[in-house]
Amino acid sequence: MFGKKFRNLVPVIQIFRHNHGVPFAPNGRAFPISGVSTPKFVSADEAIAEIQSGAHIYIHGHAATPTEITDALCDRAATKDYKYNFHHIILSGKVRWAQPEFYGKIRSNCLFICGGMRQAVLDGAADYTPVFLVDIPKIFYDRVVPLDYAIVSVSPPDEHGYCSLGVDVDCTSAAVNSAKHLIGLVNPSMPRTFGDATIHASQFKAMVETDREIYCKGVPESIGEAEQQIGRLIAENLVDNGATLQLGIGGIPDSTLNSMRDHKDLGIHTELICDGILDLLEANVINNTKKAFMPGKSVASFAYGSRRFFDFVHNNPSFHFASCGWTNHPDIIRRNSKMTAINACIEVDLTGQVVSDSIGEKFYSGFGGQVDFITNACNGYDGKGKSILAMTSRTEKGRAKIVPTLSKGAGVVCTRAHSHYIVTEHGIASLFGKSARQRAYEMIKIAHPDDRASLEAAAFERLRVMPSPNF
């Protein structure tokens, strides 16, 4: 009983810890086990030898995906009557168990759907759990998902036996602190990071060595004109000097950052950081000096980028990596000055309902930290934050993204009440405090020109009144 109450206090204790500089590790994973030596290095097959069929296993994600060990589990499942349950967010590299030959043998529970798992989810061979990023640690701490093992990538132990979770702390720190056993893939190319990434080698049941580079972001695709225009609109009209930024990954965040070169004293507090911030850091545009909370630090829960970016992060004390249960906690987000959240979406109706995790009836991605930041950025304690959602007005195939009513089966991630600013290449819709009639007017104004007449007719049919900016 005490244990459950304690786990429910984890976010509160984490906040207290960061405010007062008190070290914290719920199950002591950051500290050495007294009298226990560092585990010897073994092969991937030896590392998984004691994992029982039916085990629930957390798989480290993003750049840290431990492919060598998941491959060993796949080999075992393919040749023996073993079944496993994997839990994870975004994975990189080849996801072997997403192939039909592993259906029924290894079942993933996707806390965010990545490209490698999308077809398996659509086929019913993998699960999708809709959840706010801030709440994923609770799933592990409260044993809603009881983890038998956590398989994670770490940097090599230092002279004191300490490893680093590197650029992927996110929900992994909670998985590490909740799982019964840990298996580590030791990768020399994993950056050592500051914050909550530390774990002692004695905590691992087994360690496996690899000399493979951690997964890096490839050469970025060229940013389309529509995305570039969206980035310019956001940067020039909605981002103030001294703002604290939360951005995702992709064309729109990258173009927004590219358009901020004339800004001053920007800061970073986000769940994800990537290459887009490098040039601004080197130009002193991002310097974190005006942040009310953790000044001087770029705060994130995970990073994904190029090797150049990872080398920049390595042993760099200006970066602070922490659990998403902390970075995305409402009280932490609201403490940031001029908190400005910029997120992408898939579809928006005329009243401001936002779809981000599905395309019609088909699950596509996940909630991630969008609602965490969209809800709390505009409710910052300084009263100067902004919540921004952005998308192109049409898909690459020419389908309208601003619609009279949402597609059949589409799930609302951000409600009408969450929507403050919606941006397309055609402009900015300001929805906060607006009536449905006024919202329809704002949304039609930023729709593709060829869609506006039909949207206006549909708005009149739905609302029984013409869209108008007036009360």
Tell me how far apart the terminal alpha carbons of the chain are, to the nearest angstrom: 55
Which residues are identified as catalytic?
Answer: 271
For residue 306, is it within any domain?
yes
The dihedral sign for the CA sequence 260, 301, 431, 424? positive
* pLDDT over 70 (residue 61): yes
User: Mean pLDDT, the chain, as a whole number?
Assistant: 92
Tell whether 250 and 325 lie within a shared domain: yes
> What is the distance, to the nearest Å, from the Cα of residue 256 to the centroid of all Cα atoms in its chain?
18
Count the domains in the chain. Answer: 2
For residue 421, is it within any domain?
yes
For residue 469, is it within any domain?
no
Strand residue runs (E) in 53-148: 56-59, 84-88, 106-110, 127-128
For residue 354, is it within any domain?
yes
pLDDT tens, position by position, 347-399: 999 999 999 999 999 999 999 999 999 999 999 999 999 999 999 999 999 99
pLDDT of residue 409: 96
pLDDT tens, position by position, 110-141: 999 999 999 999 999 999 999 999 999 999 99
For residue 468, is it within any domain?
no
pLDDT of residue 33: 76
Tell whether 162 and 232 lie within a shared domain: no
* pLDDT over 90 (residue 21): no
Burial 33-58 (b: 16+ CB within 10 A, else e): eeeeeebeebebeebbeebeeebbbb
Tell whether 128 and 235 lie within a shared domain: no
For residue 429, is it within any domain?
yes
pLDDT of residue 40: 80
Q: What is the rounded CA–CA span in Å between residue 408 and residue 399? A: 15
pLDDT of residue 466: 87
Tell whether 281 and 326 lie within a shared domain: yes
The continuous run of DSSP H or E covering 373 comes out as helix 370-377
For residue 363, is it within any domain?
yes
For residue 266, is it within any domain?
yes
pLDDT of residue 220: 67
- Please name the residues in contact with 437: beta carbons below 8 A apart, sequence gap of 6 or more: 463, 465, 466, 467, 468
Q: What is the rounded CA–CA span in Å between residue 386 and residue 439? A: 18
User: If we measure between CA atoms, which residue out of 294, 378, 304, 293 comes closest to residue 341?
Assistant: 378
Q: What is the rounded CA–CA span in Å between residue 254 and residue 130? A: 26
Mean pLDDT of 287-311: 97
* pLDDT over 50 (residue 5): no
* pLDDT over 80 (residue 306): yes
pTM over 0.85: yes
pLDDT tens, position by position, 36-60: 667 789 999 999 999 999 999 999 9
pLDDT of residue 160: 92
Tell whether 189 and 312 lie within a shared domain: no
Domain-terminating residue out of 157, 181, 209: 209
User: If we measure between CA atoms, which residue out of 66, 71, 119 comes closest to residue 88?
Assistant: 66
Tell whether 179 and 30 lie within a shared domain: yes
pLDDT of residue 218: 75
Residue type, 273: I
pLDDT of residue 471: 78
Tell whether 401 and 374 lie within a shared domain: yes
Tell whether 301 and 446 lie within a shared domain: yes
> What is the distance, to the nearest Å, from the Cα of residue 234 to the centroid of all Cα atoms in its chain?
21
Domain of residue 314 covers 225-463
pLDDT tens, position by position, 216-271: 987 667 889 999 999 999 999 999 999 999 997 788 999 999 999 999 999 999 99
* pLDDT over 60 (residue 13): no
pLDDT tens, position by position, 75-99: 999 998 899 999 999 999 999 999 9
Domain-terminating residue out of 176, 209, 242: 209
Percent of the chain at pLDDT exceeding 90: 87
Tell whether 168 and 298 lie within a shared domain: no
Tell me the CATH number at 176.
Answer: 3.40.1080.10
pLDDT of residue 242: 98
Tell whether 303 and 259 lie within a shared domain: yes
Tell whether 39 and 68 lie within a shared domain: yes
* pLDDT over 80 (residue 454): yes
Tell whether 45 and 187 lie within a shared domain: yes
Confidence label for 34 from pLDDT (cuts 50, 70 and 90): low
pLDDT of residue 412: 97
Tell me the CATH number at 317.
Answer: 3.40.1080.20
Domain-terminating residue out of 182, 209, 236: 209
Percent of the chain at pLDDT exceeding 70: 93
* pLDDT over 80 (residue 18): no
